[in-house]
Amino acid sequence: MKVFETPTEELKRKPAAFTDRITTDGRFGRAAEPGRYRLVINRACPWAHRVVITRRLMGLEGAISLAVTDPVQEIIADDAHWVFTSETGSPGGKDPVLGIHALREAYLARDPDYTGGVSVPALVDVTTGHLATNDFGRLTLDLATEWGGPAREGAPELYPAALRDEIDALCEDIYRDVNNGVYRAGFAPDQARYDAAVTALFARLDALEERLATRRYLVGDTITEADIRLFPTLVRFDSVYHGHFKCNIRKLTEYPALWAYARDLFQTPGFGDTTHFDHIRTHYYYVHTAINPTRVIAAGPDPRGWLTEHHRAELGGAPFGAGTAPGPVPADERVPPLG
């Protein structure tokens, strides 16, 4: 479904079109080689945000370069495209490394007959200009487990083997009811399907509120893949999903444990320092003309609340376990400070 069209049926996400895996030993044909791949994202996109968080936590900024598209998609041949502009660090409207204006060019370099949608995140092979993968579900797992060589010293264990079954089960619930649930509510074609989506969303948020009332993180005593998958939806919730997607039974700020948990993560290196609220609001309110035909961009809420005390350390645990926090954000990747 194109985001500019009025929805006529329930939103259903198609599987990723290109799912090559990049691994330590190259057993699937592509090896985790520093400098070979460029990660293309949009800072408004929650699916891309989770990959950026993982890349930063693992300290892979020097191994995998980053390209940021404009928050407003460009209409080319009656379709919306992720494009590079001077406003996002691409002079002349072309990515300085890949030499392309629209991400679709990397898709077509991989498959000239491709006619499907174009999504971020996308990992592009710099040596060929071909898209390697747009599989957002697998990308974070492989960055966490298959890039150990180039990863920084002190990188956390984000997908520990002993906890994978619990993480996977929880992530499935979070994806269905929360990550994708806000979209199913926002793009619901009728009242019945909106009601079903929004009811499931808030039932899951209620369950997560109860879970997080007595534990600092979702699984175990440290940050894991589960937290990385939940955070991008939570950080966008009051800014866009509550009003723009009609997910307005409660605000995130009305959940004591969830709101404190989200602030705890936001104030942890890798989370808040990869969040760009201006891009988030601009993209959602400007692009989704079926929902917001005037393209008026909401001004709030005031993001400085994300910096208030959360007291979550009192529950124990440590964000990086036996590891350490990542270093400073590279100068060319910094997002605007709050306030």
> Catalytic residue positions?
45, 183
Taken as a whole, the chain contains a residue count of 339
Closest by CA to 40, choosing from 87, 117, 102, 86, is: 102
123 CB contacts (<8 Å, ≥6 apart)? Answer: 22, 37, 38, 39, 40, 64, 131, 132, 133, 134, 139
Helix (H, G, I), strand (E, B) or coil at 23: strand
For residue 217, give both structure tokens: 């993180």
- Torsion sign over Cα 30, 144, 57, 218: positive
What region does 120 belong to: left with phi over 0, alpha with psi -120 to 50, or beta? beta
Cβ proximity of 52 and 274 under 8 Å: yes
CA distance 272 to 266: 4
Gyration radius (Cα) of the chain, Å: 19
Per DSSP, the residues of 228-239 read HHHHHHHHHIII
Cβ proximity of 225 and 206 under 8 Å: no
